[in-house]
């Protein structure tokens, strides 16, 4: 079996290799070649994850290879200062079928289950503990970012919730944005329309690609955060 990779440096020193033939499957690394080299292992891990959800996959010992078919380097938008334009791959041009959107919904559902299993039992005090070297400051900040990014991706196709109306509680924000995604994703079936924002091109397939990647990427990130001791609430001084 051969799997096609589309690779981009989505942020400085953050390379992502998307497995185009397996929506939701990707590898990530700080270096381009490392992301490519990790792809076979990530494919096998993705198959294992699918099997846990009852999906029929190729045998575990089947040989396969990966080949990079597209590569993209970000550049700063001429329309919005400080905005990095990310990849619009040739593969993103293809309209989504009904079954592709249905598969994406299932993958998003399983990914959300995994995310909530990590964080839903955390006390509010742990959600607010500063995380060292964390871009979004706290675990609550990370969850806000996951919800906001999902809504932002959908908004690229005019399908997002007005940001001003989103709840301030992190889990409720995740719920509201996901409920909207469920209702809006069917509108992407067969959609050939392309949009452009801040010099970046978007399609229904690109939106779904980014949706499937983003939450799973932060799920892996949260695993690393929770494995550290940084979220232990500090004891109050007497």
Q: What is the pLDDT of residue 55?
A: 94
What does the pLDDT read at residue 158? 97
Cβ-defined contacts of 227-235 (< 8 Å, 24+): 230/129, 230/130, 230/131, 230/132, 231/122, 231/126, 231/129, 231/131, 231/139, 232/126, 232/129, 233/123, 233/125, 233/126, 233/129, 234/129
Give the per-residue pLDDT at 226: 83
Q: CB atoms < 10 A from the CB of 200, how many?
A: 19
- What is the spatial distance between Cα 199 and Cα 42, in angstroms, rounded to a whole number? 31
Half-sphere exposure at residue 182, Cβ-oriented, CA atoms within 13 angstroms: 10
- 116-146 pLDDT, tens digit each: 999 988 888 888 888 887 888 899 999 999 9
Question: What string of pLDDT tens digits covers the 238 residues of the chain?
Answer: 899 999 999 999 999 999 999 999 999 999 999 999 999 999 999 999 999 999 999 988 888 999 999 999 999 999 999 999 999 999 999 999 999 999 999 999 999 999 999 998 888 888 888 888 788 889 999 999 999 999 999 999 999 999 999 999 999 999 999 999 999 999 999 999 999 999 999 999 999 999 999 999 999 888 888 887 555 444 433 3
The span from the CA of 173 to the CA of 26, in Å, is 26
* CA-wise closest residue to 178 among 211, 204, 222: 211
Residue 96 main-chain phi, psi, to 5 deg: -80, 140
Residue 5: Cβ-neighbour burial (10 angstroms; 0-12, 13-18, 19+): buried
């Amino acid at each position: 079996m051969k799997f096609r990779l589309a690779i981009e440096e989505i942020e400085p020193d953050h390379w992502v290799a998307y497995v185009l033939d397996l929506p939701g499957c990707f590898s990530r690394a700080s270096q381009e070649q490392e992301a490519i080299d990790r792809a076979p292992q990530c494919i096998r891990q993705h198959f294992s994850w699918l099997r846990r959800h009852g999906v029929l996959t190729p045998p575990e010992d089947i040989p396969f290879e990966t080949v990079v078919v597209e590569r993209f380097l970000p550049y700063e938008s001429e329309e919005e200062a400080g905005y990095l334009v990310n990849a619009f791959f040739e593969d993103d041009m293809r309209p989504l079928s009904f079954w592709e959107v249905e598969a994406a919904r299932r993958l998003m559902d399983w990914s959300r289950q995994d995310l909530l299993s990590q964080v839903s039992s955390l006390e509010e005090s742990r959600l607010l503990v500063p995380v060292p070297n964390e871009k979004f400051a706290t675990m609550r900040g990370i969850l806000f970012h996951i919800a906001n990014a999902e809504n932002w991706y959908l908004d690229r196709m005019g399908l997002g919730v007005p940001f001003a109306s989103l709840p301030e509680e992190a889990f409720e924000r995740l719920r509201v944005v996901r409920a909207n995604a469920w209702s809006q994703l069917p509108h992407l079936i067969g959609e050939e329309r392309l949009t452009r924002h801040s010099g970046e091109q978007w399609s229904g397939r690109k939106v779904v690609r980014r949706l499937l990647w983003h939450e799973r990427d932060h799920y892996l990130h949260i695993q690393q955060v929770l494995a550290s001791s940084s979220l232990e609430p500090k004891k109050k001084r007497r």
